[in-house]
């Protein structure tokens, strides 16, 4: 360690020059610090910060006088701090915006301790607009925007904080568990969801498949809406019951693959027309709460950027077993999840009809498994359980007493703690492997998350199959993050590319990326032929999904110089924004299977608009070096155990790394102790009487009934009184205009004319692209004022 020099050196010099060795074992899972709130949702904002969201619950961490349910985790220090979020973000969806900001959509009404309805009821008492204890607001229509910031920004400024004010910016409909997918112009489509909470999205018997008595939201809508109103999607009626967090992937044609229940279709967002595709073989359900691992396979020049989607795991529970809106009919924790994998190419270019193709089974059954596409084009599956489903409940139709539930509220069991890697290019029969991969000691069940970090490791966090914080149950609320180091971390040298631009266009001139001879080992000519440049969008993760996750390998050719440097002539994005929607992404250069760090780029114009495209320029022909030389890098990346240079950025970080490694041993022991305590508690729990109350009571039939006067008058803990409009059928649950002065949202002192219009929030290495204003007219989205 150059400690002496570091004391006198500038921070910039440190960051670029000091790379102390960090002992990282390929295939290992190590402590990633604490997430402050339980990481139900995450996204990577830039090369420093990961943003984390939880449901409104009784987290110990406080912010502005209430429990926190937002946080930001720092990549370099592995520490996190709380961030304020106003509305209940429980089971929201999320997506990037073309300018590098992120939006989250919907959530739950305001709740209080134990997941009970908050202190200011709305919708006939079936939901609340505010809770005085947790101080959360109704998030069911919320659109929250975050502009990612770095340590160079003033984190306390409004431009770095969540904008969360449904009074100003909101969806037209209330949505829990909606799907979110971007269109080619950057518009986000929100599809379906629950109006309020539940296990599956239908009643039993299913007499109202469209609305479920007001519990299901069968429409889609756009953000920005630009005058378009929410319309019913017939597929939501057809798949009624198992269609929340539908799997949605925009196709090159501009149509969207939508998969839910065991049905599949292509949807045209411009006409709302549907084209049926085949049913899922074996009727294996992949959407929540079956929660299969689903991802689009890498888009490559070799497959001409034609998407294939891979579906793995989930559950083949039958219609009857899924039971009810409230809870399952069977003891799901004893029902093995599915190991089945199917591939689907929704728009074949060879004239064949789209058809599911059986793929290799996973190495284990898995519900809530989650796919992370790695820079080497392989897919990691992490998290989840071998039995059961997502969701939590105090009972099933079989185990009717909470005290008898074998795993507390968890409807899943048998945590799948060992990751596995899927190679889409390996011959059938050999695509899955977990050789050399460690297991975690932490169960990652319902409400876990995982995401690719800019150094090509994977952040794993969350798990909370409980209605509110519970640190003492079988599968407790989890705040501990972990980092998984894939096998390529065995290499002590990582490619160090230069020349990656900060924006990519759709078509246009190619650019050159240069790799010095220290970026690889072995033959330069061979390395050049084994180099890929990939644009990866890690996505927005929740519920075992990474919404928006995509991998696109840019077209390349190369020139190898006699000094061993390699110039990769690299095409821009293919000239069709439907293939990879505009917005933030990471560019990785992978040589002989070893990826560089990711460089943040903005794909496209940075605005919600029809993206400019131009023809792709032809690439120069490959030129090998006349005298092949050997790179001075080392490591092959094929297997683990090497000590490598993972490049901590300062002496400070290096000390922390030492602490992390040391802490690991203690951590394993702690894990064992916890295991013992839990089995004791489990026995104790089996003897204890049922104590929790209404966590799984979902009033349905009466949720649009008028609020009784007595409820309307109910206290709101210190807030000036607000008289609810009562939510008669078809009415908004919002605040009448005469009530605006007392509107709790107003206390955010929001000033629409001054917020964010001159944001200097910057993506690291991104150019100063002009920030654009949200052009949506305020309140156009159906709030009634
Ligand atoms: C799944 O779809 C089928 C066919 O439309 C329907 O009969 C069934 O009720 C759905 N399952 C659930 C749990 O809603
Ligand atoms: C679910 O899958 C398992 C394993 O393939 C199979 O044995 C079982 O029969 C299936 N159940 C149903 C209801 O399809
Ligand atoms: C579904 O819920 C209703 C109302 O709570 C109940 O009457 C019915 O028995 C439940 N059905 C199943 C299959 O759990
Ligand atoms: C998972 O389900 C199988 C099949 O019912 C059962 O034998 C096993 O005990 C379950 N595992 C756990 C941890 O409950
Ligand atoms: C935590 O879970 C245990 C077992 O499921 C239960 O007995 C206990 O009441 C729960 N604690 C809280 C605070 O909900
Ligand atoms: C690491 O080294 C140990 C002991 O030499 C060996 O058993 C293990 O297989 C190695 N792991 C990997 C991933 O190569
Ligand atoms: C890229 O490299 C090629 C061949 O080495 C060279 O002709 C071209 O001018 C370079 N382009 C740019 C933009 O540097
Ligand atoms: C590229 O490198 C990887 C990792 O060393 C190796 O497994 C693979 O065979 C190489 N591919 C080619 C085409 O040389
Ligand atoms: C890749 O570039 C080459 C050379 O310009 C071109 O012939 C080929 O069509 C391109 N492939 C794709 C998928 O664009
Ligand atoms: C990769 O990023 C880390 C910071 O996360 C940095 O310390 C390291 O030097 C980088 N490695 C390379 C090869 O650029
Ligand atoms: C990005 O766009 C959104 C939506 O228009 C806007 O709210 C946000 O402020 C923009 N971000 C920046 C950094 O300008």
Bigger pLDDT: 610 vs 669: 610
Distance CA 180, CA 633 (A): 42
**Which pLDDT does position 445 carry in this prediction?**
98
Residues with Cβ within 8 Å of 626's Cβ and at least 6 positions away in sequence, in order, are 562
The residue assigned the tokens 């970026």 is: 519
Say how far residue 350 (Cα) sits from the centre of its chain.
33
Widest pairwise Cα distance in the chain: 88
Residue 12 scores a pLDDT above 70: no
The rounded Å distance from CA 97 to ligand 5 centre is 40
Q: Decide if 523 is inside a domain.
A: yes
Q: Decide if 551 is inside a domain.
A: yes
Q: What pLDDT digit, counting tens, does each position of 263-316 carry?
A: 999 999 999 999 999 999 999 999 999 999 999 999 999 999 999 999 999 999
Mean pLDDT of 157-168: 92
The answer to whether the CB of 235 falls within 8 A of the CB of 267 is yes
Q: Decide if 198 is inside a domain.
A: no
The answer to whether the CB of 501 falls within 8 A of the CB of 556 is no
The rounded Å distance from CA 263 to ligand 6 centre is 44
Burial per residue of 481-499, b for 16 or more beta-carbon CB atoms within 10 angstroms, e otherwise: bbbbbbbbbbbbbbbebee
Which of 513, 528, 566, 569 is the best mutation target for the ligand 7 pocket, counting ligand atoms within 8 Å of the beta carbon and taking the most?
569
Mean pLDDT of 124-131: 93
- Of the pLDDT bands very low, low, confident and very high (cuts 50, 70, 90), residue 406 is very high
Q: Decide if 606 is inside a domain.
A: yes
Q: Is 108 in the pocket of ligand 1 (CB under 6 A)?
A: no
Supply the CATH number for residue 506's domain: 2.60.40.10
Residue 773 scores a pLDDT above 90: no
Q: Decide if 67 is inside a domain.
A: no
Helix (H) or strand (E) holding 74: strand 70-74
Nearest 5°: the CA angle 592, 596, 597 is 160
The range of the structural domain enclosing residue 503 comes to 492-632
**Residue 607 CB-half CA count within 13 A:** 13
Which token pair is 657? 């790394």
Number of domains in the chain: 1
Q: In the 8-state DSSP scheme, what is residue 111?
A: B
Q: Is 315 in the pocket of ligand 1 (CB under 6 A)?
A: no
Quick one: which atom of ligand 4 is closest to the CA of 407? 14
Q: Decide if 555 is inside a domain.
A: yes
- Ligand 10 atom 9, closest CA: 647
The rounded Å distance from CA 496 to ligand 8 centre is 18
- What percent of the chain clears pLDDT 90, i.e. is strictly above it? 75
The rounded Å distance from CA 321 to ligand 1 centre is 11
The neighbour count for residue 348, using CB atoms within 10 Å, is 13
Residues with Cβ within 8 Å of 652's Cβ and at least 6 positions away in sequence, in order, are 77
- Ligand 6 atom 5, closest CA: 641
Which of 316, 341, 365 is the best mutation target for the ligand 2 pocket, counting ligand atoms within 8 Å of the beta carbon and taking the most?
316
Q: What pLDDT digit, counting tens, does each position of 511-556 carry?
A: 999 999 999 999 999 999 999 999 999 999 999 999 999 999 999 9
**Which pLDDT does position 422 carry in this prediction?**
98
- The pTM assigned to this predicted structure is 0.84
Residue 625 scores a pLDDT above 50: yes
Which token pair is 768? 């100063």
Residue 768 scores a pLDDT above 50: no
The residue assigned the tokens 């032929």 is: 529
Q: What pLDDT digit, counting tens, does each position of 443-454 carry?
A: 999 999 999 999
The residue assigned the tokens 């449904």 is: 166
**Which pLDDT does position 204 carry in this prediction?**
81
Q: What pLDDT digit, counting tens, does each position of 635-682 carry?
A: 554 433 343 333 333 333 233 333 333 333 333 333 333 333 333 333
- Ligand 7 atom 10, closest CA: 512
Which token pair is 20? 């102390």
Distance CA 425, CA 370 (A): 19
Instruction: Single out the residue of 200, 139, 202 nearest to residue 174, CA to CA.
Output: 139
Distance CA 474, CA 467 (A): 13
The rounded Å distance from CA 30 to ligand 8 centre is 27
Q: Decide if 519 is inside a domain.
A: yes
Quick one: which atom of ligand 3 is closest to the CA of 327? 14
Lowest pLDDT segment from 206-215, 251-260, 604-613:
206-215
Q: Decide if 528 is inside a domain.
A: yes
**Which pLDDT does position 633 carry in this prediction?**
84
Give 756's strand partners. none
Q: Is 509 in the pocket of ligand 7 (CB under 6 A)?
A: no
Distance CA 496, CA 740 (A): 56
Q: What pLDDT digit, counting tens, does each position of 462-505 carry?
A: 999 999 999 999 999 999 999 999 999 999 899 999 999 999 99
**Which pLDDT does position 177 carry in this prediction?**
97
């Amino acid at each position: 360690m150059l400690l002496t020099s570091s004391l006198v050196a500038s921070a910039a010099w440190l960051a670029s020059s000091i790379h102390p060795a960090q002992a990282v074992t390929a295939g290992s899972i190590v402590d990633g610090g604490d997430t402050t709130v339980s990481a139900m949702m995450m996204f990577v904002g830039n090369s420093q910060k990961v943003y984390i969201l939880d449901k409104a619950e009784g987290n110990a961490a406080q912010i502005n006088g209430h429990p926190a349910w937002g946080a930001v985790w720092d990549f370099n220090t592995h520490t996190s701090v709380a961030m304020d979020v106003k509305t209940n973000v429980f089971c929201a969806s999320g997506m990037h915006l073309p300018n590098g900001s992120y939006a989250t959509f919907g959530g739950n009404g305001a709740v209080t301790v134990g997941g009970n309805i908050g202190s200011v009821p709305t919708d006939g008492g079936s939901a609340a607009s505010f809770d005085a204890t947790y101080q959360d607001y109704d998030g069911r229509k919320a659109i929250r925007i975050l502009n990612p910031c770095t340590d160079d920004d003033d984190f306390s400024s409004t431009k770095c904080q969540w904008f969360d004010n449904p009074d100003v910016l909101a969806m037209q409909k209330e949505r829990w568990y909606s799907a979110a997918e971007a269109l080619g112009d950057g518009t986000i489509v929100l599809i379906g969801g629950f109006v309020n909470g539940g296990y599956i999205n239908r009643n039993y018997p299913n007499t109202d498949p469209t609305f479920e008595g007001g519990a299901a939201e069968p429409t889609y809508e756009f953000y920005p809406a630009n005058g378009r109103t929410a319309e019913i999607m017939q597929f939501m009626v057809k798949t009624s019951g198992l269609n929340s967090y539908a799997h949605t992937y925009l196709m090159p044609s501009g149509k969207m693959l939508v998969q839910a229940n065991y049905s599949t279709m292509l949807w045209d967002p411009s006409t709302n027309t549907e084209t049926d595709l085949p049913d899922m073989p074996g009727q294996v359900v992949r959407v929540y709460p079956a929660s299969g691992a689903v991802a689009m396979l890498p888009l490559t020049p070799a497959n001409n950027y034609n998407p294939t989607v891979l579906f793995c795991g989930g559950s083949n529970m039958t219609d009857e077993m899924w039971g009810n809106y409230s809870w399952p009919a069977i003891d799901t924790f004893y029902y093995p999840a599915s190991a089945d994998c199917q591939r689907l190419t929704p728009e074949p270019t060879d004239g064949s009809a789209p058809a599911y193709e059986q793929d290799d089974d996973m190495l284990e059954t898995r519900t809530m498994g989650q796919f992370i596409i790695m820079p080497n084009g392989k897919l990691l599956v992490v998290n989840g359980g071998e039995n059961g489903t997502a969701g939590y409940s105090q009972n099933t139709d079989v185990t009717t007493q909470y005290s008898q539930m074998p795993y507390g509220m968890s409807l899943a069991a048998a945590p799948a703690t060992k990751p596995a890697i899927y190679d889409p290019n390996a011959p059938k029969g050999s695509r899955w492997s977990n050789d050399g991969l460690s297991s975690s000691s932490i169960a990652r069940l319902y409400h876990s998350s995982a995401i690719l970090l800019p150094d090509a490791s994977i952040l794993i966090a969350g798990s909370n199959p409980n209605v509110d914080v519970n640190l003492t149950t079988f599968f407790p609320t989890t705040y501990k993050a972990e980092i998984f180091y894939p096998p390529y971390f065995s290499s002590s040298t990582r490619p160090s590319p230069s020349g990656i631009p900060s924006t990519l266009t759709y078509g246009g001139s190619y650019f050159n990326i240069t790799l010095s001879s220290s970026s690889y080992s072995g033959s330069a000519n061979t390395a050049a032929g084994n180099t890929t440049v990939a644009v990866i969008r890690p996505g927005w993760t929740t519920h075992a999904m990474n919404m928006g996750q995509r991998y696109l390998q840019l077209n390349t050719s190369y020139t190898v110089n006699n000094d061993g440097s390699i110039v990769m002539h690299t095409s821009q994005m293919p000239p069709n924004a439907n293939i990879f929607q505009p917005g933030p992404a990471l560019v990785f250069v992978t040589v002989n299977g070893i990826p560089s760090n990711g460089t943040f780029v903005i794909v496209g114009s940075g605005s919600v608009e029809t993206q400019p495209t131009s023809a792709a320029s032809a690439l120069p022909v490959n030129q090998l070096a006349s005298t092949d030389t050997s790179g001075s890098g080392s490591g092959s990346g094929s297997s683990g155990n090497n000590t490598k240079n993972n490049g901590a950025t300062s002496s400070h970080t290096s000390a922390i790394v030492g602490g992390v490694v040391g802490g690991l041993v203690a951590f394993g022991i702690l894990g064992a102790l916890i295991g013992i305590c839990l089995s004791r508690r489990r026995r104790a729990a089996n003897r204890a009487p049922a104590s929790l109350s209404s966590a799984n009571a979902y009033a349905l039939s009466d949720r649009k009934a008028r609020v009784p006067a007595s409820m309307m008058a109910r206290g709101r803990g210190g807030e000036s009184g607000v008289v609810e409009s009562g939510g008669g059928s078809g009415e908004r649950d919002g605040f009448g205009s005469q009530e605006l002065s007392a509107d709790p949202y107003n206390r955010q002192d929001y000033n629409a004319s001054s917020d964010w219009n001159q944001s200097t929030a910057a993506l690291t290495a991104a150019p100063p692209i002009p920030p654009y204003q949200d052009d949506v007219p305020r309140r156009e989205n159906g709030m009634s004022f």
